[in-house]
Amino acid sequence: MRPFFLLIALLSLCHINAQDKKIWAKSFINQEAPELVVETWLTDKPDTEGKFILIDFWATWCGPCKKAIPELNAFHAKFKDNLVVIGISDEPSSKVKSMKSPKMNYYSAIDTQKRLNRIYEVQGIPHCVIINPEGIVVWEGWPHLEGHELTEEVIDKLIKNN
């Protein structure tokens, strides 16, 4: 009887350690990403062929979203040959264009109809999704979640492992 209880305890401990990180959206990890649909591009439409795509759901009123912009700018610059960074807001274009600081150096679009927000079931922002060149979601979540931060090292590893 004792080995049975040890097995149950061991399995319980493994389950606790194997829990996924908390995300505030529907998980698409290791699944085909939904089609990228936007209402209006505020920048040129990016060429995503053969590249990783980082989608950032954000808003001008969101402090953590604004905090992430300089980091996303750095990702855009460092990984420009392999990664396309796209910020998508559901606010009107006039609202997004009026935000002067921090400045976004990556691609920007709006979708006031919230089509992708609804598909991804985004409940909290910023919410980032990284899609590999084959169209599979390989990273998702809040970019500043402790222990699961989106960093240059994380992106570099995703690119190298593809």
| pTM recorded for the entire structure | 0.85
Alpha carbon separation from 6 to 14, 15, 45, 51 (Å, rounded): 12, 14, 57, 47
The reply to whether omega before 34 is within 30° of 0 (cis) is no
pLDDT digits (tens, 9 = 90+) for 32-79: 999 999 999 999 999 999 999 999 999 999 999 999 999 999 999 999
Residue 13 has pLDDT above 60, yes or no: no
- pLDDT reported for residue 6: 37
Residue 124 has pLDDT above 90, yes or no: yes
pLDDT digits (tens, 9 = 90+) for 22-38: 888 999 999 999 999 99
Domain boundaries, the chain: 21-160
Terminal Cα distance for the chain, rounded: 47
138: tokens are 């390989």
State whether residue 5 is helix, strand or coil: helix
Tell me if 58 sits within 8 A of 87, measured CB to CB.
yes
State whether residue 96 is helix, strand or coil: helix
What is the architecture of the domain spanning 21-160? 3-Layer(aba) Sandwich (3.40)
Alpha carbon separation from 13 to 8, 17, 146 (Å, rounded): 9, 6, 21
